[in-house]
Amino acid sequence: MQDDKYMTRAIELSRKSFERLDMPIGCVIVHKNEIVAESENYALTNKDFTQHAEVLTMLQTTKKLNSTNLSECTLYTTMEPCPMCSLLIREYRISRVVFALYSTDMGGYSKYPILTDVSLSQKYPKHFGEVPEIKKGFLEDEAAKIWIERKEMKDKGEVYKQEKY
Ligand SMILES: [Zn+2]
């Protein structure tokens, strides 16, 4: 299992997002032990709330694999996927999700249990994949460093300009 390597890459991408003053989130999707797609977060940069790192990475993956069935893929993200991304993870049938930080207010796992809702796949098996295996809190401390830096920046008054839409 090379979870370390892939999450480390996702954390690098989250730093790039941060350096661009976007939300510090990065995502990597692995298929057959290879990174098939990766993305930074572009929601603030492009003023588009759908441009979460996970969404962009899933879209790249469906194009590369020419399939909407990503059941052989693992998604690595530095933060627990939000409800929007979690629903897409279920629709694209990603079978394994590894995340670092918890998002207790907006998480699609800990707050809105979309990632773990068995009824989705039971009621609508044509539309939703099985509940994915979830590895949580992985390399959490490493991923948190960037958020701590961001908070320090904000505390000093160096606010993110893009946050004021
Ligand atoms: Zn999201």
Q: Is residue 140 part of a domain?
A: yes
Known catalytic residue: 40? no
pLDDT tens-digit map of 123-165: 999 999 999 999 999 999 999 999 999 999 888 877 665 565 4
pLDDT tens digits, residue range 21-45?
999 999 999 999 999 999 999 999 9
Predicted local confidence at residue 165, as pLDDT:
43
User: Does some domain include residue 165?
Assistant: no
How many domains does the structure of the chain reveal?
1
C-alpha of 136 from chain center: 12
Q: Which of 40, 54, 130, 133 is catalytic?
A: 54
Q: What is the structure's pLDDT at 163?
A: 60
Question: Cα(66) to centroid of ligand 1, in Å?
Answer: 22
85 CA to middle of ligand 1, Å? 4
**Cβ(72)–Cβ(30) below 8 Å:** no
Residue 164 lies in a domain: no
CA of 53 to the centre of ligand 1 (A): 7
Residue 108 CA, ligand 1 centroid: distance in Å: 9
**What's the mean per-residue pLDDT of the chain?**
94
Structure-token pair, residue 29 = 């999707």
Task: Decide if 162 is inside a domain.
Answer: no
- What DSSP character marks residue 103? -
Token code pair at residue 158 = 């160096």
Q: What is the CATH classification number for the domain harbouring 71? A: 3.40.140.10
Domain assignment present for 86: yes
Tell me, yes or no, whether 32 lies in a domain. yes
Residue 43: which domain range? 1-156
Is 163 a domain residue?
A: no
Output the six-digit token pair for 16: 């790039």
The CA distance from 93 to 127, in Å, is 9
Amino acid at 17: S
